[in-house]
Structure 1
């Protein structure tokens, strides 16, 4: 009954007849495939502006001129006024409140269309009502707002429309307003309080301007926790709790979260955070389990949509080389170069063209004794005593190697393994466990690219080095991971420029280790990915698969593990053996 009443009322609307005539004309030569020709919103707006002009002219003539119209003209204008007033009322009630129930699949031209039209129709109705009733505008507005309350038929009718129009106004705001975007919380949570958190993540966050109350660190109650509490001091809010409560703390904070716990816990924690829609970063390696990596590959678009895969080398220490190999604009704010053109300009593309294809790549990552595990600290990176455990260190060069070679498997040919005897004896005596190998040297090929990998811990500090050398057909790129700088030279040895982390930008902010990738993560947490991912999520999965393949090849070939110490490693390296 109500819908039929509105249908009949709309038959009296001049606007509806105008729409009918326009659509009749358009239907003869339709510009779109719509079943019903569109009636542009601008036409409706111009129509109501015209009605407003008519209402204002009538109001001025009635209240501000002595001109008296003949009775039949005044009567006709009165009828027109009531028709236009009824049209406005029906437009508000139908289009703003009932239309969605009648026309289930309609669309409007712009979300703000009704939000702008509603106040215009209210102004029109106010003047038209004054024209047809003779009441002043002030009196009508006071009666409509109920201040003061007015009885009688006129006051009661306006009171009813007051509440109807309040409902219409609420409907318009809820359906048309896009909402106010809120920024992601500026607090940050960290799960885990190991060496990386204490000596890398926390100092980087402090350098980026985070205060104590903005950083929450949750840790298990293990032997490292007491030392972590002493080291952290008042730099952050620190909580020691049981395993089941660590994630609860991060979920309660609902702030961007860094997963810096042991690798075994990563997958469960990142899935939980992803389900809650909390932006998170996960330390390397994402997971050691191939089954979990396959899940991430298949569902990475959903699970890692709000996840950032951290990589200290490819996204910071080796970022200049990463940019040369994969020149994403997202890396530019952190870099400096010998000439501006090497950062997104013609010089970069010219150098890449000049260098041509990769011929060979050699990556060495030799950790000195002062940087290698001791005591209980970082013991979880050394046990169990299988080669797979060494991934905590080898992930860095393998990920850089994946950048250099592109996708596809590496064909490993030779390998040598070693174990630092003094550390192995210490762990066996104190904890009754064997540690993983601490030295690996491997060679292989990827297509026509010759590859060489050397990773070791517990070497003499004076022999420690972290470097990648990539030989191209037309030149060489040498990346010094400690200096965070990549230098280029042609085949004759002539300098062709360099790219490095910009240590002078923002008062030297990026001199602090981890500051670059922490800022990358927070940029992502606040702004999202944008058009492209700029972490190394998919490449890290490939690098982890490459490590599994190497470990399996070593196991099949039964490569022996040689003991070494700081004396023997300088004179006799473990011998390479075939793995095929």
Structure 2
């Protein structure tokens, strides 16, 4: 039965196809135009008029034939005028979007149509053809026979044709691609904005000063001076009153005032609506979600710092929205999208990252994605992941406070993100042992109560699916170290998070082969100086520091060039990976069986604290 039904449907389709109108070949139209042109020329040069031709016939018949001939002439004139308007105007405006054609093809027959129209008008009006042509191009013609009404009508046609022809010629000229940069407003005026985001946006002419604005509840007076000097616009919701104490050449900190988050949000959003197409959210984490929600409602695309949200309620709301909120959002991730970008590219082979990297294999360039896939296969089975992210003093008290998840979501999220993306299986929290510590001297340095601080150092050890895990992350560490080491049965990977260089070694036929993947110097990488033969050492230049946020701001600019929305399933930000990680980390906080916890770390003397990374 299904087979018979299929045959019936096929017959029905063929029948419908047979009913479809047959297309007219382009040459048929050209033959027709040439025929009408020849006819108009022939009739114009005939020595007798239509009335004279039909005068030998009976009176009634001659009158009828003369009327038919004049009507035919009039119809041909109207057809030529309609041809001009259809092909020179309507088709360009409407049919251009519905069919494939080139406007230039009509310019080939345009002279024939215009001449045909001139001959037909001359024959119809019983005037000289040169007079008609002169009227069309608005040139005076002496001793002309046309009346004023005829001159006006033909002259108006001439002006109209001139405009249509010039417009079509301009339309044929290929446009010069000029892409205007959109204005970007940065919400926030803290350390990240001053030392990372703003310099990266201005670096290498990525954005000009007049395309950037700063909006914040309060802006530091020194930063405002810098913005004024660079002529960068800013919007400050609350004005601080500088202290008059200028002893020793220094001013006291600006006086504190009470701010209203709702008023701040409303004021900044109103400012953004007046000037910006895109926004970068660089506020403390607990302010991210309200701004994301407000910008989404206004359909304004944005970039947002990690962590994307700060509370379980915000996480639930973001999850319920699906991808609606982030379809026009770019999620930053300082380590995965910048510091560890070479490692990111090696594992993901996301083509959007390739332009930022220099890659060599055994000192040879032109390494392809398929080459890296082969190298990854040659490394063998993963055996261990070691991540050390040991940072120095951080004077931002909020980054260590318990109430907003401080160190847990502000710093630990980085190594957990790296582990999540490197580990071939899902992170099994139950297989890991967490040891939390707090340097007893930090509270005094930050001038806060020790009871308000969470952990400032964590050691994570365990084994997941046969892979040994060793993560050490902390702040206020004197001996700063930042690297990732991944060991395999047949090689290893070392990712230096300061120089932004990754070295991959593997054995093949008892020969060690080395591959280096480094962020280019122009995007903040610090590679071996040009001409150096010591390529193998590029992953161990611990003394060099890179320029921050250059890669991320270039990625954000790429997002802006894509009109601020994701046009393909392959994203190049850290969404939705970061959302999954925050969900996992949030659930880990509810487990309180361990001897220590982020909320109740072991408080140790400074000397003991500094020895923790080496134990």
TM-score using structure 2 length: 0.71
Change (3 A) 1:416 1:250: same
Q: How does 1:144-293 map to 2 (within 5 A)?
A: 154=150, 183=179, 185-209=181-205, 210-221=207-218, 225-230=220-225, 232=227, 234-235=229-230, 237-242=232-237, 243=264, 244-293=266-315
1:296-345 per-position Cα deviation (integer Å, ceiling 9, x unaligned): 45545443233221111111110000000011121111111223567424
Change (3 A) 1:415 1:432: closer
- Show the counterpart of 1:109: 99
Change (3 A) 1:157 1:433: farther
Aligned residues: 528
Asked if residue 379 in structure 1 is aligned to residue 369 in structure 2, the reply is no
Distance apart, 1:251 and its partner CA: 2.5
CA distance in 1 between counterparts of 2:135 and 2:291 reads 60
Asked if residue 513 in structure 1 is aligned to residue 503 in structure 2, the reply is no
Distance apart, 1:266 and its partner CA: 1.6
Distance apart, 1:398 and its partner CA: 1.7
- Show the counterpart of 1:487: 503
Distance apart, 1:134 and its partner CA: 4.0
Change (3 A) 1:438 1:367: same
Asked if residue 57 in structure 1 is aligned to residue 38 in structure 2, the reply is yes
- Show the counterpart of 1:418: 437
Match of 2:338 among 293, 297, 316: 316
Distance apart, 1:434 and its partner CA: 1.4
- Do the aligned residues in 2 keep the contact of 1:418 with 1:563 (CA within 8 Å)? yes
- Do the aligned residues in 2 keep the contact of 1:386 with 1:436 (CA within 8 Å)? no
Match of 1:347 among 368, 371, 389: 371
Distance apart, 1:83 and its partner CA: 4.0
Distance apart, 1:484 and its partner CA: 0.6
Asked if residue 397 in structure 1 is aligned to residue 415 in structure 2, the reply is yes
Worse-superposed segment, 30-39 or 337-346: 30-39
- Show the counterpart of 1:524: 559
Worse-superposed segment, 534-543 or 386-395: 386-395
Change (3 A) 1:386 1:85: closer
CA distance in 2 between counterparts of 1:201 and 1:208 reads 13
CA distance in 1 between counterparts of 2:123 and 2:594 reads 97
Asked if residue 496 in structure 1 is aligned to residue 514 in structure 2, the reply is yes
1:179-206 per-position Cα deviation (integer Å, ceiling 9, x unaligned): 9997453433211111111111122122
Distance apart, 1:241 and its partner CA: 2.1
CA distance in 2 between counterparts of 1:431 and 1:471 reads 42
Extract unaligned runs of 5+ from structure 2: 1-10, 55-64, 141-145, 169-173, 238-263, 528-544
Distance apart, 1:367 and its partner CA: 0.3
Distance apart, 1:439 and its partner CA: 0.9
CA distance in 2 between counterparts of 1:506 and 1:467 reads 17
CA distance in 2 between counterparts of 1:387 and 1:481 reads 24
CA distance in 1 between counterparts of 2:385 and 2:303 reads 29
Asked if residue 567 in structure 1 is aligned to residue 607 in structure 2, the reply is yes
CA distance in 2 between counterparts of 1:98 and 1:231 reads 55
- Do the aligned residues in 1 keep the contact of 2:596 with 2:602 (CA within 8 Å)? no
Change (3 A) 1:342 1:568: farther
Change (3 A) 1:386 1:237: closer
Asked if residue 306 in structure 1 is aligned to residue 328 in structure 2, the reply is yes
- Show the counterpart of 1:473: 489
1:273-298 per-position Cα deviation (integer Å, ceiling 9, x unaligned): 34444342211111123444455455
Change (3 A) 1:507 1:446: closer
Change (3 A) 1:568 1:556: closer
1:168-226 per-position Cα deviation (integer Å, ceiling 9, x unaligned): 99xx9xxxxx99997453433211111111111122122221333232111212xx623
- Do the aligned residues in 1 keep the contact of 2:525 with 2:547 (CA within 8 Å)? no
Match of 1:455 among 473, 476, 479: 473
Change (3 A) 1:505 1:46: same
- Show the counterpart of 1:358: 382
1:110-166 per-position Cα deviation (integer Å, ceiling 9, x unaligned): 387899699959746555434433445675577679999x97775687699899999
CA distance in 2 between counterparts of 1:386 and 1:435 reads 10
Distance apart, 1:89 and its partner CA: 5.9
**Bigger Cα Rg:** 2
Distance apart, 1:364 and its partner CA: 1.6
CA distance in 1 between counterparts of 2:609 and 2:215 reads 40
Distance apart, 1:511 and its partner CA: 5.3
CA distance in 1 between counterparts of 2:15 and 2:457 reads 70
- Show the counterpart of 1:8: none
Distance apart, 1:500 and its partner CA: 0.8
Bigger fraction of residues in helix: 1
CA distance in 1 between counterparts of 2:524 and 2:220 reads 34
- Do the aligned residues in 2 keep the contact of 1:407 with 1:542 (CA within 8 Å)? no
Extract unaligned runs of 5+ from structure 1: 1-27, 100-104, 173-177, 576-580
